[in-house]
Structure 1
């Protein structure tokens, strides 16, 4: 069973998609819905996928869960709740009754405060997730990655996953700093990492799998296949690569691994981490 552990849908006009109006995002400033993704998954040999939030909006959770009812191959929804709110637990309880609500994410990378994720009120909200055994996606830039180990130690029972390897500076070929913080995060057994979002951190026009390889190899050394999962980051990846190019690049890079190890990266880790069901 091959699972894409990180993809998005959006429909212009349904929620706030103002970020798509930036000139560099013009190629993806349109609707991307399940009927657009399914043929790409079929061609790539991917069986199921996990939708990940794009909005700080409870209505997107409801919409995404509705999409899973129409498209059973969407096997999970990583949604959003207001971690800083006194109503955080009440919000969470609405969604945890749905078997396909499998996690929560906050767009931490866009917060003006680089230390947002370790604020006391946010830690309080994360403890609510820990109480309810709801995994949390860490959407970081490299500058935030130092907080992963802090969270891993402070919330040892909360499963967490670093999205997009915390967006290392692939275009510049820079590993310094990022590598140390990634390894510190990996020392926490409750933290996993997604091999996703790499092509958009590379040279959009001229990237090649070899550009991504040092970052994948660093993650493999730090986490091992047991705590790594494939994610396309579709349709954002379309800025730099097709769906097929993204998965083919990762398959090429991890080619030397055994079939058992590849199976973990391409589905088993995500299934275990998010508690995915048929």
Structure 2
């Protein structure tokens, strides 16, 4: 029985329909919902997956993929990308565990360092070992003592190999460091560049963030609408104008969304985060909103390739 036939039959069952594990018939042909940004942690008590001694933080509460999958089913999230978090540094054993547990539901990003000997070889081995499961390689630039080696052959070589492997470069940075990445974005136009967390607009000045907004002129850039600050959160700036400027600049075909899952999330809070983001997209049509909330990511990362 094909997937759509199954869903139509299952929708006729009140028990299955109320479980949240299947969609109603009328939603069957919509693009999937894809959360492109979440972290999973084994916690400090699992000796199989220790935190790296060089990690900048160590979460106390586990956030395992099994729990993630339950919340996804209840909150209407079809697929997700597990962003390999810094507490594990370049040890990807837990990420591999997550994609094993997730099957077709989960893919992951990796984290390697341009100035660490052997990074390119180890990244290549991971991606080939996990063919189709690793979709991006993340680069951080937000802590002065943890910056990538801007302007060096090592960073260029890492960036080039990320593209050769068919991955996206995923950037997490404070806006003041954006100029260091721009030459590479321009030099490798065939490599997709994903900008995390709105480009961290409130961790810089409006002038610094304007550089990130201006990256929309590069066709290979994708903006991720994630890490939405609460209204009362310092520095108490309204996120709505930022979201509008980014959606206007990048357009509905180059936006993806992420967020809402953590160790304390509930199905209600997970869904509410997505609906809050949707409230900033009311200037887009329903079809365009569906692209942002999953259609674009499904194509970009190869989720549900047989049906979308």
| TM-score in same-fold range (> 0.5) | yes
Higher RCO structure, 1 or 2 (CA under 8 Å, sep 6+): 1
For 1:218-240, what per-residue CA distance to the aligned partner results, in whole angstroms no more than 9, with x for missing partners?
111111111110000632897xx
Instruction: Specify every segment of 5 or more residues in structure 2 that has no aligned partner in the other structure, as ranges.
Output: 1-31, 45-49
Say whether residues 1:90 and 2:117 are aligned partners.
Answer: no
Say whether residues 1:59 and 2:91 are aligned partners.
Answer: yes
Q: Distance in 1 between matches of 2:202 and 2:120?
A: 36
Say whether residues 1:213 and 2:240 are aligned partners.
Answer: yes
Say whether residues 1:260 and 2:293 are aligned partners.
Answer: no
Say whether residues 1:134 and 2:151 are aligned partners.
Answer: no
For 1:61-92, what per-residue CA distance to the aligned partner results, in whole angstroms no more than 9, with x for missing partners?
x3212222222254311012232345233212
In the alignment, is the contact (CA less than 8 A) between 1:135 and 1:273 conserved in 2?
no
Two-structure CA RMSD over aligned residues (Å): 3.0
- SS of 2:142's equivalent in the other structure is helix
- SS of 1:213's equivalent in the other structure is helix
- Cα 1:165/1:69, change in 2 over 3 Å: same
Q: Distance in 2 between matches of 1:57 and 1:118?
A: 22
Counterpart of 1:146? 179
Q: Distance in 1 between matches of 2:235 and 2:210?
A: 27
- Cα 1:162/1:140, change in 2 over 3 Å: same
For 1:100-133, what per-residue CA distance to the aligned partner results, in whole angstroms no more than 9, with x for missing partners?
1111113322352657344332112111112222
- Cα 1:103/1:114, change in 2 over 3 Å: closer
Counterpart of 2:257? 230
Instruction: Specify every segment of 5 or more residues in structure 1 that has no aligned partner in the other structure, as ranges.
Output: 22-27
- Cα 1:82/1:204, change in 2 over 3 Å: same
**Aligned-pair distance for 1:264?**
1.4
Counterpart of 1:42? 73
In the alignment, is the contact (CA less than 8 A) between 1:20 and 1:29 conserved in 2?
no
Q: Distance in 1 between matches of 2:141 and 2:235?
A: 29
Say whether residues 1:273 and 2:273 are aligned partners.
Answer: no
Counterpart of 1:24? none
Counterpart of 2:51? 15
- SS of 1:112's equivalent in the other structure is helix
Counterpart of 1:33? 64
- Cα 1:205/1:175, change in 2 over 3 Å: closer
Counterpart of 2:20? none
In the alignment, is the contact (CA less than 8 A) between 1:138 and 1:162 conserved in 2?
yes
Which of 237, 243, 254 is matched with 2:270 structurally?
243
Q: Distance in 1 between matches of 2:146 and 2:39?
A: 25
**Aligned-pair distance for 1:196?**
0.3
Counterpart of 2:3? none
Q: Distance in 1 between matches of 2:291 and 2:248?
A: 15
